[in-house]
Structure 1
Amino acid sequence: MKKKLTALSVYLLTALLVFSTVAYAAAENNGRDQGKLFQYSTINAVMQGQYDGEMTLKELNTHGDMGLGTLNGLDGELIQLDNKFYQVNSKGQVKELKGNVKTPFAVTTKFDAEKTVTLSNVKDFQDFSEKLKTKFDNKNHFYAIKIHGKFDSIKNRSVPKQTRPYPSLTEVTPHQTVFEEKNVEGTIIGFYTPNYASTIQVPGFHMHFLSDDKKKGGHILDVKFDSAKVEIQQLSEFDLVLPDTADFANADLTKTTVEDIEEAERGK
């Protein structure tokens, strides 16, 4: 009987040790993922017309549940919300995407808001940016932002799919399609990037929109609302994966300026 109890004890202790190790590893990994920004490729690469990537949306989804970007061939605007992906094409049509679709540039995070604030009397995108930045605790960290509400007006854009040889992004955006919606309910998601990282990500705010009915959306150019609750997550880690493509390997990524990015992203 004593030997049986000893063997059983060893078995239980071994099982407990294995379970504890797995649980600890899972908790540690989950902790590392929280507060981390994951990005595939760089904004400078996109600016220079690198519109084909190797990362699938399925793989991107392992790194976060809320994000944005574009699709291979610069085929419209990409929105990731609640682990699902949506494309807004140049006609303004919204389509849910499968995991085998690939992206040349995307940003995501496992969103877990640390702070909720109220923004009131937002007149335009610049006013939105200035008011939201006052809510940040550390101006040199990255931030993820999520807003759900009813917007008095919101102006979005999408771009047409490109074919090789690819033009630069500043050559594409003059042909963008702009959609302006009034009194629309939906979700704004996006990221804030400090200026020191402007060669890697869009400096300032990069925001996309998706309506509740999944029929409207795009890259935000302007927005106006009376009052909205804004969820904020500070991101203190940055995980960057670079494309393993000939285009990226041979590119001179020092040519793009902040002014070029602002012109392409915000229509300036």
Structure 2
Amino acid sequence: MNKKILLIFLILLSITLVSGCGSSADNFSGNSSTTDVNPESVEDSGSGVGNGDIDILYQISTIDALLQGVYDGILPVAALETHGDFGIGTFDGLEGEMLALDGNYYQIKTDGIAYPVSGEMTTPFATVTFFEADENFRLEEPANLTELEAFLDLKLPSENLFYAVRVDGNFSYIKARSVPRQEKPYPKLADAVSTQSVFEFENISGTLVGFRTPEYVKGVNVPGYHLHFITEDRRAGGHVLDLEMENGEASLDITSAFFMELPTSGDFYNVELGQDLQADMEKVEK
């Protein structure tokens, strides 16, 4: 009888051990699958990555690619809107200036008018974020563009972070531009802006929308300030070339995370990037 009981006990023990090993294997297999992580699913982890964190600067393509004539739209505005309610960029074929403010996207064409944008329109280059001000500053003294940028630089916690910049103010003068749609074979941006339309606004109120990016991202984005303008009634604007500001309020959104998607086909695959960046940028900003 004792031998039979011992035999039954050993059989039961073997079954338990085998079952335990199977469970452990399953658990190990399940844990190993977590290495395939979708960055967009990571939220509130402290890494600053994911749609749950609003302090992410999202960018499609690079400014260098745009400088070299990569103008084909690759991302619909409807998709871009899921990454930000504030930002700047351009549209398929380099047709006009993009400006996003308070969740509304606009296309400023060569007539200077700001048109509402449909979700089906595409962009070859854009930078957006969900704007939430971290710092606010009152601007009481008149300032030109250089002086305004210098004032904002003094307020930065660090020059090595990304900042979304919003300035609501009264302007005695603003010089802005928009570039017409380009046709293939696309010229470089420095050549495309030779056909730009320039607008001059006087004694007008409105909003500057844009970003300040660190010097070390040259080629990825515009080092320093890149600003677009839209009037208070949201009817006109353009890419800012110069300004004279009377007074207003500046807001900075400190953005410590940067996420970029690159084109996966088309001209981007073959263009030579990193060529004469500084010279091309200087031509574009005139």
- The answer to whether TM tops 0.5 is yes
Is the contact between residue 61 and residue 262 of structure 2 (CA under 8 Å) also seen in structure 1?
yes
What amino acid is the match of 1:252? E
- Partner secondary structure for residue 107 of structure 1: strand
1:231 aligns with 2:231: no
Aligned match of 1:138: 158
Residue in 2 that maps onto 1:40:
60
Q: TM-score, normalised by structure 1?
A: 0.86
Query: Is the contact between residue 193 and residue 204 of structure 1 (CA under 8 Å) also seen in structure 2?
Result: yes
Distance in 2 separating the partners of 1:231 and 1:221: 20
CA distance, structure 2, for counterparts of residue 238 and residue 194 of structure 1 = 12
Pair 1:126-2:149 in alignment: no
Distance in structure 2 (CA, Å) of the matches to 1:231 and 1:178: 27
Task: Tell me the amino acid that sits aligned with residue 113 of structure 1.
Answer: A
Matched, 1:102 2:102: no
Q: How does 1:245-260 map to 2 (within 5 A)?
A: 245-260=265-280
How far 1:199 moved relative to its partner?
0.8
SS of match in other structure, 1:116: strand
Query: Per the alignment, in what secondary structure is the counterpart of residue 130 of structure 1?
Result: helix
Match of 2:77 among 51, 54, 57: 57
Judge conservation of contact 1:129–1:205 (CA < 8 Å) in 2. Answer: yes
How far off is 1:138 after superposition?
A: 0.6
Q: Give the deviation of 1:27 after TM superposition.
A: 6.0
Q: How many residues align?
A: 243
**Equivalent-residue separation in structure 2 for 1:204 and 1:81 (angstroms):** 20
Unaligned runs of 5+ in 2: 1-41
Is 2:112–2:236's contact at 8 Å kept on the other side of the alignment?
yes
Shift of 1:26: 6.8
Tell whether 2:223 aligns with 1:241. Answer: no
Query: Matched residues in 2 for 1:128 and 1:98: separation?
Result: 33
Which structure 2 residues correspond to residues 1-268 of structure 1 after superposition, within 5 A? 32-264=52-284, 266-267=285-286
Shift in Å, 1:193: 0.9
SS at match of 1:153: strand
TM-score normalised per structure 2: 0.81
Structure with max Cα Rg: 2
C-alpha contact (below 8 Å) 2:227/2:240 kept by paired residues: yes
RMSD: 1.8
Instruction: Determine if contact 2:44/2:53 at 8 Å carries over to the other structure.
Output: no
Following the alignment from structure 1 to structure 2, what is the Cα–Cα distance between the partners of residues 42 and 106?
A: 9
Per-residue deviation, residues 199-220 of structure 1 (Å, max 9, x unmatched): 1001110001111222210001
Letter matched to residue 215 of structure 1: R
**Contact in 2 for aligned 1:187/1:212 (Cα 8 Å):** yes
Q: SS of the counterpart of 1:34?
A: coil
Kept in 2, the 8 Å contact 1:45–1:253? The answer is yes
**Structure 1: 5+ residue runs without aligned partners?**
1-24
Q: Is the Cα contact below 8 Å between 2:51 and 2:83 reproduced in 1?
A: no
Once the two structures are superposed, what CA deviation does each residue of 1:197-256 show, in whole Å capped at 9, x if it has no partner? 011001110001111222210001111122211011111110000011221111111214
1:58: how far off?
0.6
